[in-house]
Amino acid sequence: MAGTTTGAARPAGALAGPHASRGGASRWTVLVVLCSSLLLVALDATVLHVAVPAVTEDLRPSAVDLLWIVDAYPLVAASLLILFGTLGDRVGRRRVLLLGYGIFGIASAIGAFATDPHVLIAARALLGVGGAMIMPATLSLLRQVFPDRRERALAIGIWSATAAVGAAIGPLLGGFLVEHFWWGSVFLINIPLMVLAIPIGRWLLPESTAKHSGPWDVLGALMAAVGLFGVVLAIKKVGAGAEPFEPFVVAPAVVGAALLTLFVRRQRRRDCPLVDFSVISRRGFGTSVGCIILAMLALVGLQLIAVQYLQLVLGLTPLEAGIRLIPLTFAAIAGGLLGSRLLARFGPRAMVMAGFVLTAVAVLGLISLGQQDRPAILCIGFVLLGFGLEMVLFGSYESMLSDSPADQAGGAAAIGETSYQLGAGIGIALLGSVMNAVYSPGVADVPGVSTAAGKHAGNSLGEAYSVAAKLGGDAGAALRTAARDAFVHGMHVTLVVSALLLLGGAAMAMRLPRHMECGTPAEEALDAADYPEVASAPSRDRRRPSEGPHVRKHYATVQPGRSAGD
């Protein structure tokens, strides 16, 4: 590893590279750089959505090609998170992050000037590779440069608020660029940012590797990647409307599940596993992962239904629908910024439980919505929804990182991000299936509408409107009314199911630690001493002379990954 300044070997886990030789940057400056990276990745996950019509008109992709253009990025990113998260623990988190910047920029250039659907699909997949390098690296570096849990909680709050901002402004920025330029501009904006990010990141970010991490298990990493790809692909196919028992759904699900099972067995037998499942099985870590999955399951499924409701039932334009969702985003940002104070005051258990309950109340309140526009109820519901879910995600991420050893920060961050992606995919598949199960029978037997037309109308509300327009007359009007009524009824049932899942999440959160324990001043100083360039905090470093190297040895050998609540 480059960057040692003396002839002595650098201790594992210490800072390296040019950053160390220049005295280092403030940990808050590091936070700004990392959040800027996250903002770009979060933005790119949603910026293409409004450009899909323009891409369709220009490149003329088939239905399958269009599906892959949209899904290639999240599918590849979710599959590779564990691979690159654990690689960063071995070879250096900054090194993987900077490589991710470079790949992200190259993929953006390919996507911006793509003249063929398959080239665009390849570019989106390559963007997923870069995103999978960037996302866990940002979170694992936060774990390293903020050893003090109180400061780390504030940093994670800013980090999560940044993700909410990126996801929110993606469609707005994409709409502006497509309207004033061409669809490729949604990719082109990444290039100058990546050109700046690489030298700035190399100058300011610390390098760190895990201590005693052992060799990187290449075969295990590939097993995890292919296994996750199969499982996520099957989930996305079901979410897109495929039958759960179709061969093209069952095959990747079975292969993926088998590979993940073999991966777990392989890691349990290894002396230096990529993922330490003894840590994952700990109460705080495992519960946090489950809470993230449930929170994302509710959020993504509800957002999908909300957008259709706003546009197809209330008749709002895409821009008007986006504006209606702004309160949710601002509430999520507020939740992230206030999260550290709430966590310190109430503890992880109470905070996450309250977030789930608040979100469930908001969801049940939205059941009062019907075919008439009620903007006040929508606004209040979205505010409670955004704030409550952010409380859940913030408390879960913070507890997950704090319950994992610093040595395994990359793997822990990758598992958290993977659970985020899996929750989103399962949410679309599960809540979409509930919605369709209630909606489809409502348009099956409309007077004057043939069985074939009713079957097409049962696919979605948008397709029902198209069929109704072709039919015209009384039959078309009857189908349109029946489809709208069926959709609203299906939305109400889906909201009830979501509320039950959220209350289940509140029950799960009871397993989280009651208090936010930050460790003794000596323990905080010992962690900080491994990263003096960025983690120095004089007000926190109150280590007494008697708490010297022997304490460090005891802490490293007896208390690896100490849980705050155990």
- pLDDT tens string, the chain, 566 residues long: the values are 333 333 333 333 434 433 333 334 577 888 888 888 778 777 776 677 667 777 777 888 876 777 778 778 877 888 888 888 778 777 778 888 899 989 988 998 998 888 888 898 899 889 889 888 888 888 778 777 787 777 878 888 888 778 777 776 776 777 777 777 878 888 887 888 888 888 888 887 777 666 656 677 788 888 888 888 888 888 777 766 677 778 888 888 899 889 888 888 888 887 777 777 766 667 777 788 888 888 887 777 677 677 778 878 888 776 677 778 788 888 888 888 888 888 888 888 898 999 999 999 998 988 888 888 888 888 898 899 889 988 888 888 888 777 776 666 666 777 777 777 777 777 777 787 788 888 888 887 788 778 788 787 877 787 788 888 888 888 888 888 888 888 888 889 888 988 898 998 899 888 888 776 655 443 444 444 444 444 443 333 333 333 333 333 333 333 333 333 33
The confidence score (pLDDT) of residue 541 equals 37
Amino acid at 162: T
Cα–Cα nearest to 242, from 80, 105, 429, 110? 429
In this structure, how many other beta carbons lie within 10 angstroms of the beta carbon of residue 245?
7
Q: Measured between alpha carbons, how far is 450 from 461 in angstroms, rounded to an integer? A: 17
Q: Please give the DSSP secondary-structure letter assigned to residue 92.
A: -
- CB 274 within 8 Å of CB 267: yes
Hey, how many other C-beta atoms are within 10 angstroms of the C-beta on 375? Answer: 9
**Location of structure tokens 């992230």:** 336
pTM of the shown model: 0.71
- How far apart CA 241 and CA 8 sit, in angstroms, is 60
Alpha-carbon distance 99 to 165, whole Å? 24
Q: Which residues, 6+ apart, have CB-to-CB distance to 564 below 8 Å? A: 149, 284, 348, 399, 402, 403, 513, 515, 516, 517, 518, 519
The 3-state DSSP class for residue 83 equals: helix
